[in-house]
Structure formats: structure tokens, C-alpha cells
């Protein structure tokens, strides 16, 4: 594929934007080459500025579960746009989106809308500290909770890809109260809580990690998290910014039957527009200003366009019981096909999947934590990524990211992807 215009666009961007991108997740530093510049999207496809078409498995890093330009979302946005873009005042639509979230997500009795997943996790952490009167937070290596200073320690996603798990500018003081443990390690969790339990405000975890690749928490680990936090009167926070409404209608907590105290959300609840939210039990949420004293604010929180897109998306997901069966079927077809091709070409690899999130790891054994994820063959992944891109398949540009299947993908799209993977894996064997 020729990408002359993309190359020129990137050169221009590099003179104006640090690294030429507005998020490191869009950079191709981990895979080589220069990023593709997108002109438009439709259904399951992206189209770059050179006119090349790609089957899209990023879906704007998760939100586009319905596919791009879904008619219901576009209609909702057009109606909202006709009424104005921002008011800085309450709207009934905010309550409508809140009702949908409360009705669907098991842990949420009240919810506060914000503008991003990072805002959601930052606010949930502050609320947990304000509610408990404690300072310390537990997180897990490889889990990424946005670029919150106190949580940008042993982080996954682009922080892992770029080799800066502790970013310059994050001071020792801001991370002093963060305890980092191994993901999926019950003994480590038990020991830490036994030692520091009366100091810990909350434990925050991705129940399905998506930023060291798709790595689900084990049932034993989730049960231990719920039991041990209760024993020590600490809050359990599920970061479902990625897994919320993705791995099941009610998120990972619904799929796995474990209810946290607080939940952070994003991505899908904005239908492709910037949004985030955090919610939980009423007794906790009522500590947020102006009901309580824990400060959190945002001029554009509950933006009418984002809210409209989110309502339309959640209504589509809730309105058809076949939605998640179709997503499971398509994602399973892709996962099985990738495994078959890797085995056929004797390439050490495995696929891990939860719902419509999955990752092809260039690793022989199970990936259960950051140490096993970090053992993957990232050079082979980079070559695989480039080969797939040249065949019109747009994958995450990091071994440590999950890909996403949408309702817009067809079986033909999946089969074409598997065939392309077979060609590339054959070259890599």
C-alpha cells in the first residue's frame, strides 16, 4: 500500500505536535514505521488520506462497539447538534444517560459524568480517600488507569510500550501512597493487605486488563479482592473504562458476578465522543460535592453531544438480546482462526479473549500478569502488525493492547482477516 499522503501528514504534525500525535497510543514507535492518518470511517472500516481501506479492530480503542457512523448514533448527534453544543447547565439527557448506567451496571446506584477515563479514575480515587479517611491506594502492575500521577506506576498501555512506567514529571510524593502488586497474585494481595490494610483507602483493578494485552483476572483473584477489601474496610474499584458494556452488557462485574464498591466507565458510554463516569453505592457517591465535601468538577461534563451519542449506543446494546451473542460469535471466530493459523505455521502464539476483546500474544504460555506479558516476542508482533497493515487490517500498534470486534464486522471481514494473518504468519515462521 502507498501511504504518501500519510507520510506527509505525519511530517507536518511532527512540527506542530509532540511526536506528531496527540496520544502515544497512536504512535508506531513499538512497531516501526509512521502512523496512518485517517480521513474517515464507516461501519467496520477506516479509510486513510491516501484512499486505502482497513478493517478496523481498534474501534477508537473500544468505544465503537456498534461500528462507525451507526445510523442511530448519527441521528442522535444531529438532533443534539441542532439544539446547541454546550450549555454549562443541567440537561434532562444527563439524567437519561445516568438512568441507563444505573439500570445496567450492578454496582452503580448513583453516577457522576466526567470527560474521560482518566478523569473518572482520578475522581474515584479521590472519593475513596475522602470516604474512608485513608491515604494509600493499591494498584496492579500492568493495569493502566489513565495518566493520573498517583497511578502512573508500573502502568501498561503506551507507558509500557514506550518503556516509561514511571513518567518524568511524576514526583515521588504523588506516588508515595501507591502500592503496586502483581496482577492475579492472591498471596501478594493477602500479604499487602495484612500489612497495610488499615491504611488502604481502595484497591483499583481492571477486571479484564486491556493495556498489557487482554488479560482477565482469575475467578480466585476477583473473589479474593472482594473478600479482602471488605475485611479491611477498603473500597474495591473496578476500572471498567474498557470492559464496561464491552465484555457483557453490565461489564466484567456482571460477567464474573463480582460487585465492586465503585466503578469507572468511559469509551462506550460516549458512543465515540469524549466521556467518562464514576459511580457506586449511594452512601459513597453522596460524599461528592455538592452533596458532600469531596471536590470534583468539570465545565464540559455531561456535554450534550457526548450524552446523546452515549444514550443512543446504550439503547442499541440493551434493546437487542442477540447483540452480545453476535459479538461473542464473531470474536470467537476470529480468535479460533488466529490460533489455527499460528499452529499451522508453527509460530509460538496464543489468543486470550473475553467477549469481544482479544489479543494475539506472541508467547507460548498463558499471559496472566505483567511479567508474562513482558516476555512476549515484541519484534515478531511488530512484523505481524506491519504485514497486516499492508494487507488492509488495522490492529493495535502494540503487543500490549487489546483489539475489539464490533457489530459492524461481518463474517467475511473476520475470514479475510484470518486469511491475511495466515499469509503474514507464514512469512514469520
Q: What amino acid positions are annotated as catalytic residues? A: 144, 239, 267
H helix and E strand count, the chain: 15, 16
DSSP codes, 315-348:
HHHHT-TTHHHHHHHHHHHHHHHHHHHHHHTT--
Q: How far is the C-alpha of 340 from the C-alpha of 196, rounded, in Å?
A: 46
Say which residues have a Cβ less than 8 Å from residue 322's Cβ, sequence separation at least 6. none
Q: How far is the C-alpha of 261 from the C-alpha of 253, rounded, in Å?
A: 11
Q: How far is the C-alpha of 11 from the C-alpha of 198, rounded, in Å?
A: 53
Say which residues have a Cβ less than 8 Å from residue 257's Cβ, sequence separation at least 6. none
- What are the angstrom distances between the C-alpha of 124 and each of 117, 141, 171, 315? 10, 19, 21, 26
Asked if residues 387 and 45 have their Cβ atoms less than 8 Å apart, the reply is: no
In the block, cell 439527557 appears at 93
Q: How far is the C-alpha of 368 from the C-alpha of 232, rounded, in Å?
A: 26
Q: What is the DSSP letter of 41?
A: E
Asked if residues 45 and 394 have their Cβ atoms less than 8 Å apart, the reply is: no
Q: How far is the C-alpha of 162 from the C-alpha of 30, rounded, in Å?
A: 7
All cell numbers assigned to 240: 471498567
Amino acid at each position: 500500500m502507498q501511504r504518501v499522503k500519510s507520510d506527509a501528514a505525519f511530517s507536518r504534525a511532527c512540527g506542530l505536535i509532540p511526536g506528531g500525535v496527540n496520544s502515544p497510543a497512536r504512535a508506531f514507535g513499538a512497531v516501526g514505521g509512521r502512523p496512518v492518518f485517517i480521513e474517515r470511517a464507516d461501519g467496520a472500516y477506516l479509510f486513510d488520506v491516501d484512499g486505502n481501506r482497513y478493517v478496523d479492530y481498534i474501534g477508537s480503542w473500544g468505544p465503537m462497539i456498534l461500528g462507525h457512523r451507526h445510523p442511530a448514533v448519527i441521528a442522535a448527534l444531529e438532533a443534539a447538534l441542532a439544539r446547541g453544543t454546550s450549555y454549562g447547565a443541567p440537561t434532562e439527557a444527563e439524567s437519561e444517560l445516568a438512568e441507563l448506567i444505573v439500570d445496567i451496571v450492578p454496582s452503580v446506584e448513583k453516577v457522576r459524568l466526567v470527560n474521560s477515563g482518566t478523569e473518572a479514575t482520578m475522581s474515584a480515587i479521590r472519593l475513596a480517600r475522602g470516604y474512608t479517611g485513608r491515604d494509600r491506594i493499591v494498584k496492579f502492575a500492568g493495569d493502566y488507569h489513565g495518566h493520573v500521577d498517583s497511578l502512573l506506576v508500573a502502568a501498561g498501555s503506551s507507558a509500557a510500550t514506550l518503556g516509561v512506567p514511571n513518567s518524568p514529571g511524576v514526583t515521588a510524593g504523588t506516588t508515595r501512597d501507591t502500592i503496586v502488586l502483581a496482577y492475579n497474585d492472591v498471596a501478594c494481595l493477602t500479604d499487602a493487605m495484612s500489612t497495610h490494610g488499615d491504611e488502604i483507602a481502595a484497591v483499583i483493578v481492571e477486571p479484564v486488563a486491556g493495556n498489557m494485552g487482554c488479560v482477565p483476572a482469575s475467578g480466585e483473584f476477583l473473589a479474593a479482592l472482594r473478600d479482602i477489601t471488605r475485611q479491611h474496610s477498603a473500597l474495591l474499584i473496578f476500572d471498567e473504562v474498557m470492559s464496561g458494556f464491552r465484555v457483557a452488557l453490565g461489564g466484567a462485574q456482571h460477567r464474573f458476578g463480582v460487585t465492586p464498591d465503585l466503578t469507572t466507565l468511559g469509551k462506550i458510554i460516549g458512543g465515540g465522543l469524549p466521556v467518562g463516569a464514576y459511580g457506586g453505592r449511594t452512601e459513597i457517591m453522596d460524599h461528592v460535592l455538592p452533596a458532600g465535601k469531596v471536590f470534583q468538577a468539570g465545565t464540559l461534563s455531561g456535554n450534550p453531544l457526548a450524552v446523546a451519542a452515549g444514550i443512543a449506543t446504550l439503547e442499541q446494546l440493551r434493546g437487542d438480546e442477540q447483540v452480545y451473542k453476535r459479538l461473542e460469535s464473531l470474536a470467537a471466530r476470529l480468535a479460533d482462526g488466529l490460533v489455527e493459523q499460528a499452529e499451522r505455521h508453527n509460530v509460538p502464539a496464543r489468543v486470550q479473549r473475553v467477549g469481544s476483546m482479544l489479543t494475539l500474544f506472541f508467547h507460548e504460555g498463558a499471559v496472566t500478569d505483567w511479567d508474562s506479558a513482558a516476555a512476549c516476542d515484541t519484534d515478531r508482533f511488530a512484523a505481524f502488525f506491519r504485514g497486516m497493515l499492508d494487507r488492509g487490517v488495522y490492529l493495535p500498534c502494540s503487543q500490549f493492547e487489546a483489539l475489539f470486534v464490533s457489530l459492524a464486522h461481518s463474517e467475511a471481514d473476520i475470514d479475510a482477516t484470518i486469511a491475511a494473518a495466515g499469509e503474514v504468519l507464514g512469512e514469520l515462521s
